């Protein structure tokens, strides 16, 4: 038979603590390394200002159309163009027709 001292030894806090002898349920968490942030790319310079080539081509096409329509309606042959002013971004087309009677 076990004496009273043996029973006390079995009920001590050390004998009831299973956390030291049990394996951990989850693997230890390793800290993630700090992420290195990339610096922002250098800003590109604005593109150089270019004349609006499409608008210039359209203005000449408009002149040819006016020339053709004036030639057909007045029967003059060629329409004399007095002035054409081309400005970047703002195209002004001025033309005058000489009527021959």
Output 15 or 35, whichever has higher pLDDT: 35
Q: What's the mean pLDDT when you consider all of the chain?
A: 61
In this prediction, residue 83 carries a pLDDT of 44
In this prediction, residue 10 carries a pLDDT of 56
Whether residue 61 is contained in a domain is answered as yes
Residue/partner pairs of 60-63 with CB below 8 Å, 24 or more apart: 62/93, 63/93, 63/95
Range of the domain at 59: 53-94
pTM for this model (two decimals): 0.24
Model confidence over 43-86: pLDDT tens digits?
777 766 766 777 778 888 888 787 766 655 555 444 444 444 44
Quote the CA–CA distance of 23 and 66 in Å, as a whole number: 94
Question: How many domains are there within the chain?
Answer: 1
Whether residue 76 is contained in a domain is answered as yes
């Amino acid at each position: 038979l076990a004496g009273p001292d043996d029973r006390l030894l079995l009920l001590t806090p050390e004998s009831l603590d299973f956390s030291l002898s049990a394996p951990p349920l989850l693997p230890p968490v390793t800290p993630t390394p700090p992420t290195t942030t990339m610096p922002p790319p250098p800003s590109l310079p604005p593109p150089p200002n270019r004349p609006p080539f499409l608008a210039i081509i359209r203005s000449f096409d408009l002149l040819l159309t006016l020339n053709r329509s004036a030639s057909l309606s007045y029967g003059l042959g060629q329409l004399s163009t007095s002035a054409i002013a081309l400005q970047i971004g703002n195209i002004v087309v001025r033309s005058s027709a000489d009527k021959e009677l």
